[in-house]
């Protein structure tokens, strides 16, 4: 009996020691786990913590309370450029990302992402949600350092590029077909719930070693779809109320704006619930203290609603389009509930993680960001001369159009022509005038000229980037992706190409020599009697179509040489030239 007790007690002690060792390792590991949570089109004002009296976000608000809060944090005016800068620490134009579609949301494969950085020190890496930096090899998440990848395509579910959800209409956020490690898989439930649940599963499976989890919700981006139980929380509110005595400038809301706000706030509350689940899971696994968690959004709100009085919204270089919440928590290293007022930006995230996780930052390229650690630890006061460059126009930057440079408290904004005089610009002191209401250009022309010189220098430098001069290509015929689906988000051609039928479009590709089966899918069925054309660098293949009202036309055993080219497909019938909605290209002589 004594021996039984001895064995039992010994086992208890050993179990306790081993368990204790595991917990201590999880809490005091040399390198922290890293979680970045990004929401889509959630503006600065779409939180209770930032003064919105209507939205219910208790979990994010509580997280903000215990975090280090960067109160002057900036991103790009739109999503793909923000995500490129976040992942690389570089201005998006350096990476080849210049638009959200028009073929301009493909990040060059020679960029080094946070995931690739952390893979060097044996992190497990996973992305769940929105990537929007390339849907084909070699620019997919799985090609850019992520071990686990569960994403939708292009800029948003229900959009033309995400063709597996596009035809679901007002149900595109529910029961979607997503892309898991490059393959289509059907899921049940609401998109935000799916992405959060899969992220939590990834954390559970990998919490015994350092991991990087990138949870990039596609909500509250349009289409504004949300489970009814969340919408019911906001059905009867007036989102414009409660600001009658507020001296800050506010834009009047139409009835449509108010209804959009109700749906957005419902989507935010759903995200908040999911973030609460994730944070509780970290506590359950005893890894909360040794996990760096960042919460941020990707740009300002798309629709008119509360944005804390700031000017502009998504797409604008005014603060309402580019200033977002940024909360950082890492209990093992830093005490929370702290405000930092220094000017910071998305480009600072990679350098911060590099320093914190003890992995060298890439030295063969310019990193535009700076580590936030000296600011957090008060070892360094940020330079008053730090400049941030902002722009947004479709296709490529348009010189001085929706373009800005911020240096210290001063911000020069251009909404003018390439040859404009300095008086045609706007100049703001955002420290004294955070709502950008008072143009100082007439009183401070010399300062404005200095800022314009900096802006010109930055613009010229970025537009000379290798990945802008030689845009990333989609590889066709690679063993890494076969078949390849070319979607409308990555199609170039006419400016603003979207879901139109009669429009000129193309894809910039690099083709491996071989035999291909090529399937063309159309937005609407096409009549018989027309001819399908495929142009590839001076070579034209054609096929007469004898099937009436067909959504698909297929060319089989098309012999293509090795070439870099514009791939230009169109169906000519009568006086129409109809561009396909997407194209599937499968190499049929590929070695197995």
Q: Is residue 318 in some structural domain?
A: yes
Place of tokens 């980037």: 465
Specify the 3-state DSSP secondary structure of 62: helix
Q: Which of 438, 469, 500 represents a domain boundary (last residue)?
A: 469
Residue 589 pLDDT: 82
CATH number at residue 340: 3.40.720.10
pLDDT in tens, 12-62: 444 444 444 334 444 456 899 999 999 999 999 999 999 999 999 999 999
Are 321 and 397 in the same domain?
Answer: no
Q: Please give the pLDDT value at position 384.
A: 73
Among residues 327, 350, 376, the one where a domain terminates is 376
- The rounded distance, in Å, linking the Cα atoms of 484 and 559 is 16
pLDDT at 262: 98
Q: Are 150 and 180 in contact (CB under 8 A)?
A: yes
332 and 440 share one domain: no
Domain with 431 in it: what CATH number?
A: 3.30.1120.10
Co-location of 22 and 81 in the same domain: no
CA distance 143 to 151: 13
Q: 100 lies in a domain?
A: yes
Q: Are residues 444 and 418 in the same domain?
A: yes
Sign, CA dihedral 188-191-195-200, equals negative
pLDDT of residue 444: 98
pLDDT at residue 507, as a whole number: 98
Domain that holds residue 26: 1-30
Q: Does any domain span residue 382?
A: no
* Pair (242, 322) in one structural domain: yes
- The pLDDT of residue 30: 86
CATH number at residue 566: 2.60.120.260
Give per-residue pLDDT as tens, 345-355. Answer: 999 999 999 99
| The last residue of a domain, from among 469, 491, 516 | 469
520 with 544, same domain?
A: yes
- Asked if 394 and 363 sit in the same domain, the reply is no
Residue by residue, DSSP assigns 365-397 as S------SHHHHTTS-PPPTT-EEEEE--SSS-
- Report the C-alpha gap between 72 and 344 in whole angstroms: 6
Pair of tokens at residue 497: 């190409």
Question: Is residue 136 within 8 Å of residue 465, measured between CB atoms?
Answer: no
Same domain, 517 and 370: no
Q: Both 465 and 531 in a single domain?
A: no
DSSP, collapsed to helix, strand or coil, labels residue 555 as: strand
**DSSP-assigned states of every residue in 84-150:** HHHHHSS-HHHHT---SSTT-----TTS--HHHHHHTTT-EEEEEEE--S-SSTTSSGGGTT-SEEE
Same domain, 15 and 73: no
Q: Is the dihedral of CA 49, 236, 272, 73 positive or negative?
A: negative
What is the pLDDT, as a whole number, of residue 196? 99
| Domain-embedded: residue 167 | yes
- φ/ψ region of 19 (left if φ > 0, alpha if ψ in -120 to 50, else beta) reads alpha
Domain co-membership, 457 together with 509: no
| Domain annotation covers residue 416 | yes
β pairing state of 33-39 and 291-297 = parallel
How many structural domains does the chain have? 4
Q: Which of 549, 23, 45, 102 is nearest to 301 (CA)?
A: 45
Q: Answer whether residue 483 is part of any domain.
A: yes
Angle of CA points 189, 193, 195, to nearest 5°: 105
Residue 255, phi-psi category: left (phi > 0), alpha (psi -120 to 50), beta (remainder): alpha
Assess if residue 381 is contained within a domain.
Answer: no
Positions of the chain with pLDDT under 50? 1-27, 592
What's the CA gap between 282 and 124, in Å, rounded? Answer: 16
Pairing, β 505-511 against β 563-573: antiparallel
Is position 592 within any domain?
no
pLDDT at 442: 97
Q: Does one domain contain both 444 and 541?
A: no
């Amino acid at each position: 009996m004594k021996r039984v007790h001895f064995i039992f007690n010994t086992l208890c002690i050993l179990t306790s020691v081993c368990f204790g060792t595991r917990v201590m390792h999880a809490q005091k590991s040399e390198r922290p786990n890293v979680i970045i949570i990004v929401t889509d089109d959630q503006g600065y004002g779409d939180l209770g913590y930032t003064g919105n009296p209507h939205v219910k976000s208790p979990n994010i608000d509580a997280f903000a309370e215990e975090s280090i809060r960067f109160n002057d944090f900036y991103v790009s005016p739109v999503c793909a450029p923000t995500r490129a800068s976040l992942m690389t620490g570089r201005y998006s134009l350096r990476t080849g990302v210049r638009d959200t579609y028009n073929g301009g949301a493909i990040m060059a494969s020679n960029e080094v992402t946070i995931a690739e950085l952390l893979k060097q020190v044996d992190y497990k890496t996973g992305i769940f949600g929105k990537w929007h930096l390339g849907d084909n090899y070699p620019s997919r998440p799985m090609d850019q350092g992520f071990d686990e990848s569960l994403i939708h395509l292009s800029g948003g579910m229900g959009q033309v590029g995400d063709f597996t959800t596009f035809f679901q209409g007002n149900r595109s956020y529910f029961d979607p077909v997503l892309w898991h490690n490059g393959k289509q898989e059907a899921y049940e439930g609401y998109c935000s719930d799916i992405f959060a649940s899969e992220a939590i599963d990834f954390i559970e499976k990998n919490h015994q070693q350092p991991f990087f989890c990138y949870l990039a919700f596609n909500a509250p981006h349009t289409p504004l779809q949300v489970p009814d139980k969340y919408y019911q929380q906001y059905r009867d509110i007036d989102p414009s109320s409660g600001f009658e005595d507020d001296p800050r400038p506010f834009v009047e809301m139409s009835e449509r704006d108010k209804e959009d706000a109700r749906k957005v706030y419902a989507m935010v509350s759903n995200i908040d619930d999911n973030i609460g689940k994730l944070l509780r899971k970290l506590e359950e696994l005893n890894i909360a203290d040794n996990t760096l968690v960042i919460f941020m959004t990707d740009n300002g709100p798309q629709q008119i609603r509360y944005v804390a009085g700031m000017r502009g919204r998504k797409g604008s270089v005014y603060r309402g389009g580019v200033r977002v919440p940024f909360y950082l928590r890492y209990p093992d290293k830093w005490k929370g509930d702290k405000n930092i007022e220094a000017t910071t930006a998305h480009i600072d995230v990679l350098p911060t993680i590099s320093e914190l996780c003890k992995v060298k930052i890439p030295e063969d390229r310019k990193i535009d960001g700076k580590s936030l650690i000296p600011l957090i630890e008060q070892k360094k006061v940020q330079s008053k001369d730090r400049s941030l460059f902002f722009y947004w126009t479709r296709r490529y930057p348009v010189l001085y159009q929706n373009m800005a440079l911020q240096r210290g408290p001063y911000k020069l904004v251009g909404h003018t022509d390439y040859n404009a005089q300095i008086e045609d610009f706007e100049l703001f002191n955002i420290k004294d005038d955070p709502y950008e209401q008072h143009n100082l250009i007439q009183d401070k022309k010399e300062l404005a000229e200095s800022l314009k010189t900096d802006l010109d220098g930055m613009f010229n430098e970025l537009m000379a980037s290798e990945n802008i001069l030689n845009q990333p290509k989609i590889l066709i015929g690679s063993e890494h992706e076969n078949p390849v689906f070319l979607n409308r988000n990555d199609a170039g051609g006419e400016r603003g190409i979207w879901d139109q039928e009669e429009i000129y479009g193309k894809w910039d590709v690099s083709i491996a020599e071989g035999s291909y089966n090529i399937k063309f899918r159309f937005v609407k069925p096409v009549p018989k009697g027309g001819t399908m054309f495929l142009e590839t660098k001076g070579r034209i293949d054609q096929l007469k179509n004898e099937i009436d009202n067909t959504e698909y036309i297929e060319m089989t055993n098309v012999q293509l040489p090795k070439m870099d080219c514009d791939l230009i497909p169109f169906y000519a019938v009568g006086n129409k030239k109809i561009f396909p909605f997407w194209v599937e290209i499968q190499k049929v002589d590929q070695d197995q």
